Structure 1
C-alpha cells in the first residue's frame, strides 16, 4: 500500500512539474477585430465576428495572407480551425513565406497534407503521419505548432504528427495565415493563441 502511495505521489509531482513548464498561451486574435494583424490591401477575404475569423476567397480568387504585426523567434502557436466549402487549401506561415504548415488539400499533390511542411523550393520534404484518421472534416480541429530554432513540431487534435528541421527558415519573423489563390473555398479559425519561448 505504501509503495502504491509513493508511486501516486511521484506521478502527481511529475504531472505538476510538466504543467508548470508548459507556457501559457495568449490570445493573438481578439475575436472581434483584426487588431494586432497587418491588414491586406483587399480585406474582403477576412472577417472577425463573435470569436471566429471567417476566411473566404472572393470572386477574383487571388488569395491572401494575414500576418501578425509582431515578429517571433521561438514560440508555440495553437488554433482551432473548421474546414468550409470548396477545396480548402490553407496553412500557417512560420516567420516568413519560406515555410508553411499545410491545412487541407495540397494544390500540387491534390490530397490532404494537413500538418506537413510546405517549402516552395522543396515542396513537401516530409509528410505528417496519420492525419486522415485525425482530421475531422465537419467539426473543429486543433493544430499546435512548436517552433524552436530551425525545428518545428506539429500536433493535430492532441497527437504529434510531424517534426522537421528546416534549413530555409529565418531566425525570426511574423506568423501568418494563408488563403491559397485559385480556389473557391472557405475556412474558419478561432482560439488563435501563441506563447513565446526562450
Structure 2
C-alpha cells in the first residue's frame, strides 16, 4: 500500500538492507547498536545517550525509494534515518538529509550538519493522529533527482524540491539515535528500491 502511494517500482529490484540477524552491509559504531528480535536497536534505556550515533550502509545510493518500520521507547524520544548522507571524517556525526521522528519533528525533513534546519515538515497536529507511540510505524522515503518525498504511516508529510545544485544527490543510508535521555530506537524491514 505505502509502496504504491510512493510510486514504488517493481518488487524485483528491491534490496533488503537488513537481513534481521546480522550487520552485513553496515558499518558502526557497533557499540551503540545491537540486533534483537529481528530488529536493529539503537540506544539504551539504562543510561543517557551522550552523543548522536549513526549506523550506516557501506553502499551509496542515489535515486531510490526506502521503506522501513520503526518504533521508539523512552520519555523524550528523538531519532531519524539519514539518506544521501556521508560520514564526517574523524567525527561521530554525518552530513545529509534526515527523515526525522520524535518530539515536534515527526515526519519532517531535516538537514543534518549542513544547513542544520528543518527543510520541510507537515502539519504536526495532523501527523500526530497517525503516529503509533506504543508500537511500529512505517516510513517511506523517496528521492529522485532534486525531488524528495516522505510518507509516515501512509500520510505524505514532505514534498520538497532541492534548489541548491551543490547538495549531493547520492550517499549512504544511516540509522540514528539522538543524544539525550535514555531511549531506544528500533528499526526493521529496511528495504530499498532503486529508481531508474
TM over 0.5: yes
Structure with the largest fraction of strand: 2
How far did 1:30 drift? 0.9
How far did 1:182 drift? 2.9
Structure 1 21/98 Cα, relative in aligned 2: closer, same or farther at 3 Å?
Answer: closer
How well do the aligned residues superpose, as a CA RMSD in angstroms?
A: 2.2
Runs of 5+ in structure 2 lacking a partner?
86-94
Report the equivalent of 2:92: none
Question: Residue 113 of structure 1: which of 105, 114, 131 is its match?
Answer: 105
Report the equivalent of 2:120: 126
Structure with the largest fraction of helix: 1
Q: Tell me, what secondary structure is at the counterpart of 1:35?
A: coil
- Whether contact under 8 Å (2:48, 2:180) holds in the other structure is no
Structure 1 60/134 Cα, relative in aligned 2: closer, same or farther at 3 Å?
Answer: closer
How far did 1:22 drift? 2.8
- Whether contact under 8 Å (2:8, 2:65) holds in the other structure is no
Structure 1 184/59 Cα, relative in aligned 2: closer, same or farther at 3 Å?
Answer: closer
Report the equivalent of 2:37: 50
Q: Tell me, what secondary structure is at the counterpart of 1:79?
A: strand
Runs of 5+ in structure 1 lacking a partner?
1-17, 106-111
Structure 1 88/133 Cα, relative in aligned 2: closer, same or farther at 3 Å?
Answer: same
Structure 1 distance, partners of 2:16, 2:49, is 31
How many residues were matched structurally? 173
Question: Residue 171 of structure 2: which of 173, 190, 193 is its match?
Answer: 173
- Whether contact under 8 Å (1:77, 1:145) holds in the other structure is yes
